[in-house]
Amino acid sequence: MGASGVEFTMLSDVDSDVINRYGVLNTLVQPDDVPFYGVPLPGFFLLDEDGMIVDKLFTRHFANREGIETVAEDDGIRITAFL
């Protein structure tokens, strides 16, 4: 466990390369809106037991978002662990 108490690896995506590759760049934030430009849309990826992405849910507004249960139920998936 790290000094911050986080028990998993975190990604530092300073130039938003990964955010852009996964297509989750928040385009509501304009490039001149420093320091918020380059952040992802709020959401999550649903992974299978092998770590492969099986679904994702990203919403345009952070205040109104559905939980992972919504995607899981729609896909008929039973969630067994949260990371």
Tens digits of per-residue pLDDT, 12-57?
Answer: 888 899 989 988 888 888 889 888 888 888 888 878 788 888 877 7
* pTM for the whole structure: 0.58
**CA 61, 73, 40: angle at the middle one, nearest 5?**
25
C-alpha 73: how far from chain center: 18
